Amino acid sequence: MNNYNTEDLEFEKYHGLGNDYILINNLKYKIPEEKMNELAKLLCTPHFSIGADGLIYVCKSQKADIRMRIFNNDGSEAEMCGNGIRCFSKYIYEHDIIKKGEISIETLKGINIAQLNITNNTVSTVKIDMGKPILDCEQIPVELDDYPSQCINEQIVVLDKIFNFSAVSMGNPHAVIFTKNLISDIDLNKYGANIESDEHFPRKTNVEFVKIISKKEANVRVFERGVGITNSCGTGSCAAVVVGTILGLFEKNTPILIHNDGGDLIIHYNGKEVFMEGPAIKVFTGYIDKIEF
């Protein structure tokens, strides 16, 4: 495979509640398909490069206003990312790529609609129509011994503990675990890493530990597939609300306040579709003089 040289590559760094991303306008730079994951691993490496949870490319779409492609810091491509798509929405609006208050965005999951809260030509918050949650085991995917159609409140043995978990996909797979203990007491790195790669999840899974505060509020901590512990996860927060609503832990058809380590999201599940609202912050703009990979 030939090396690829990039000179004066402009990028921007964003974060959604501490979940941070590098954004590159691939309409302009046209990074080759076979180099996209390699560049993600290279640029997202902390200390030795820019450092981020993932790299997002702005791409042309034949199905929607614009296309988002997101690669985790291990080079794997994610189907969808709730925090990332808010950052993406802010980027494309403020760069005059798509200058509309409502934008259709193609992802590997499908097409999502972003509604932008705009003040003085600046996007402060974004509300995303996350679509319908996937509860069918085969589609998530999750594999259980007795082949149920859904995975709600099933048991999983992880090292020295037994957890009750529920599986749902928001375009990417999630294992949601509700706990009566403080989630700060759980060794998230230890148990999250083992659940992520457990044999029940053929494509691995994101892991959420959830502590209910009330029928309208909860704390969530996340171990993201292909990344590790992150400050927040938009799709994980959505998954937590979907499962919590099914289990009767949240009030139905009501906005739920989800506290992530990096800040708060408002999630609304109406029994059919999920909506997520939260901020997106630009951190800085940078340039790479030359990179060969």
Residue 192 exposed, middle or buried by CB count within 10 Å (0-12, 13-18, 19+): buried
Q: How many CA atoms lie within 13 A of 33 on its CB side?
A: 0
The token pair at 151 is 């995975």
**Among all residues, which ones are annotated catalytic?**
81, 233
The token pair at 67 is 């296309």
The angle subtended at Cα 263 by Cα 258 and Cα 266, nearest 5°, is 35
Torsion-angle region of 159 (φ positive above 0: left; ψ -120 to 50: alpha; else: beta):
left
The one-letter amino acid code at 49 reads S
Cα gap 110→264, rounded to integer Å: 25
The token pair at 267 is 């999630």
Q: In angstroms, how far is CA 212 from the centroid of its own chain?
A: 21
The token pair at 161 is 């503990």
CA dihedral 43, 45, 48, 49 (to 10 degrees): 20
Range 144-147 contact pairs with CB under 8 angstroms and sequence separation of 24 or more: 144/200
Q: How many other CB atoms sit within 10 Å of the CB of residue 193?
A: 16
The angle subtended at Cα 97 by Cα 92 and Cα 103, nearest 5°, is 60
